[in-house]
C-alpha cells in the first residue's frame, strides 16, 4: 500500500518554511542564512546564525532556521534527498532505520525547543504574531520529517504534520497574504490526496480537502508570490510533476533552481542524471 508516497515532500516543506523571514530586526541575517541553506552550505548557514543569535538569543525564526539546517544536512548525508528516494515509495516506507548522528539530533531538538519556547512567549503577548505562528508551523514540520524519514515512524509523524497544518491554517485565516504559508497547505493537500480514500476517514487535517489540484495551485501561488519560499515551491512542484508523469515540467523547475542556486550539489547531480539518460 502506497500510503506515505508523498511524505518526502514534507522534508522540503519543513526546511523551506524556515526561510519565512518577516523583516523584523535581524531579517537580513536570517535571510542570508537561508540563502546559504539553499546552496547546501550548512557551515555557512550556521556561521551566520551564530552571529545573529549572539545578538538576539530569543529570535525564534533564527532557531527554526538552525533546526531546519540540521535536518537538511542529515537528510543529505544519509542520501535521503536524492530523486530516486523521493520517487521510490518502497524506500520511503522501508522500515530499515538509518543511522542518524545522535549529536546532530540533540542539537536539532535543542534548537526546536528554543524556537518553540520563544514563539510561545511572543504569542502570549500578541496572539496574532505572524512570525511566531510560522515558527511553530516550521517546528512541527521539522519534527514530521525527522520522524518519518530518518526514524521511519510514518504513522507517528502524522501528528506533527497535523500540527504544522493547524498553525498554517491559523496564520492564513488572519492573513491570507502570508503567501509562504500556502506551501505547508499545499503539501498537506497532496499528502491527504495521495492516501487511499477509505483511510481518509481516519486522517483529518484542518481545512484540507485532499485535492492534488489544489495542492498544485497553492504551490504555484508560493512560486509566484512567496517572498522567500519561491525556490522550494518549485522543488516541490518538480517532485509532484515527476509523480504525475510530467517530466518536462519537473525538469524546468529543477533548472530554474540550479540557475538561481548553482552551488547546490544535489540539484546539479539530479540534472546530470537527466542529461545522461538522453545520451
In this prediction, residue 73 carries a pLDDT of 94
Residue 220 near residue 253, CB atoms below 8 Å: no
Residue 122 CA, distance from chain mean position = 23
Mean pLDDT of the chain: 81
Mind listing the pLDDT tens digit for each residue in 232-267? 788 888 888 888 888 888 889 889 889 988 999 988
Q: Which CATH superfamily is domain 8-278 in?
A: Tetratricopeptide repeat domain (1.25.40.10)
Angle at 17 between CA 12 and CA 18, to 5 degrees: 110
Report DSSP letters for 152-193, one per residue.
Answer: --HHHHHHHHHHHHHHHHHHHHH-TT-GGGHHHHHHHHHHHH
Q: Which of 28, 105, 115 is nearest to 63 (CA)?
A: 115
Q: Cell numbers 504569542 label which residue?
A: 123
Angle at 208 between CA 207 and CA 209, to 5 degrees: 120
Q: What percent of the chain has pLDDT over 70?
A: 79
Q: Cell numbers 523584523 label which residue?
A: 24
Q: Which three cell numbers stand for residue 191?
A: 499528502
Sign of torsion over alpha carbons 130, 223, 73, 160:
positive
Mind listing the pLDDT tens digit for each residue in 140-172? 988 988 988 888 887 777 888 888 889 999 999
Lowest mean pLDDT: which of 28-37, 39-48, 68-77? 28-37
CB atoms within 10 A of CB 179: 22
In this predicted structure, the answer to whether residue 130 has a pLDDT above a threshold of 80 is yes
Residue 267 near residue 257, CB atoms below 8 Å: yes
Compute, in degrees rounded to 10, the torsion defined by CA atoms 240, 148, 207, 166: -130
Mind listing the pLDDT tens digit for each residue in 44-91? 999 999 999 999 999 999 999 999 999 989 989 998 877 544 555 555
In this prediction, residue 94 carries a pLDDT of 58
d(CA 253, CA 261): 12
d(CA 237, CA 231): 10
**How confident is residue 196, by pLDDT bands cut at 50, 70 and 90?**
low
In this prediction, residue 227 carries a pLDDT of 73
Residue 44 near residue 36, CB atoms below 8 Å: yes
In this prediction, residue 13 carries a pLDDT of 46
How far, CA to CA in Å, does 169 sit from each of 181, 207, 249?
8, 7, 29
In this prediction, residue 20 carries a pLDDT of 40
Length of the chain: 279
**How confident is residue 116, by pLDDT bands cut at 50, 70 and 90?**
very high
Lowest mean pLDDT: which of 1-5, 67-71, 130-134, 265-269? 1-5
Sign of torsion over alpha carbons 152, 153, 158, 159:
negative
Lowest mean pLDDT: which of 3-7, 186-190, 259-263? 3-7
Secondary structure letter of residue 150 according to DSSP: I
Contacts of residues 32-35 at CB distance under 8 Å and 24 or more positions apart, as own/partner, are 33/62, 33/65, 33/69, 34/65, 34/228
Q: Which of 67, 81, 90, 69 is nearest to 3 (CA)?
A: 90
pTM (2 decimals)? 0.81
Amino acid at each position: 500500500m502506497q500510503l506515505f508516497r508523498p511524505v518526502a515532500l514534507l522534508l522540503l516543506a519543513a526546511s523551506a518554511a524556515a526561510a519565512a523571514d518577516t523583516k523584523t530586526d535581524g531579517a537580513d541575517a536570517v535571510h542570508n542564512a537561508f540563502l546559504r541553506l539553499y546552496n547546501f552550505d550548512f557551515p555557512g548557514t550556521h556561521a551566520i546564525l551564530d552571529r545573529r543569535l549572539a545578538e538576539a538569543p530569543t529570535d525564534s525564526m533564527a532557531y527554526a532556521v538552525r533546526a531546519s539546517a540540521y535536518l537538511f544536512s542529515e537528510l543529505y548525508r544519509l542520501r535521503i534527498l536524492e530523486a530516486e528516494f523521493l520517487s521510490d515509495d518502497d524506500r520511503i516506507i522501508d522500515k530499515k532505520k538509518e543511522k542518524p548522528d545522535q549529536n546532530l539530533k540533540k542539537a536539532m531538538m535543542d534548537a526546536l525547543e528554543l524556537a518553540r519556547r520563544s514563539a510561545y512567549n511572543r504569542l502570549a503577548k500578541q496572539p496574532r504574531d505572524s512570525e511566531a505562528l510560522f515558527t511553530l508551523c516550521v517546528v512541527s514540520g521539522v519534527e514530521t520529517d525527522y520522524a518519518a524519514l530518518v526514524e521511519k515512524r510514518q504513522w507517528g509523524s502524522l501528528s506533527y504534520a497535523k500540527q504544522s497544518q493547524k498553525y498554517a491554517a491559523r496564520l492564513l485565516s488572519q492573513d491570507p497574504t502570508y503567501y509562504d504559508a500556502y506551501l505547508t497547505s499545499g503539501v498537506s493537500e497532496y499528502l491527504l490526496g495521495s492516501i487511499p480514500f477509505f483511510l481518509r476517514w481516519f486522517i483529518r487535517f484542518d481545512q484540507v480537502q485532499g485535492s492534488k489540484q489544489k495542492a498544485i495551485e497553492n504551490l504555484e501561488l508560493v512560486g509566484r508570490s512567496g517572498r522567500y519560499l519561491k525556490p522550494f515551491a518549485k522543488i516541490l512542484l518538480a517532485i509532484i510533476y515527476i509523480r504525475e508523469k510530467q517530466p518536462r515540467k519537473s525538469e524546468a523547475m529543477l533548472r530554474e533552481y540550479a540557475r538561481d542556486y548553482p552551488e547546490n550539489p544535489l540539484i546539479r547531480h539530479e540534472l546530470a542524471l537527466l542529461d545522461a539518460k538522453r545520451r
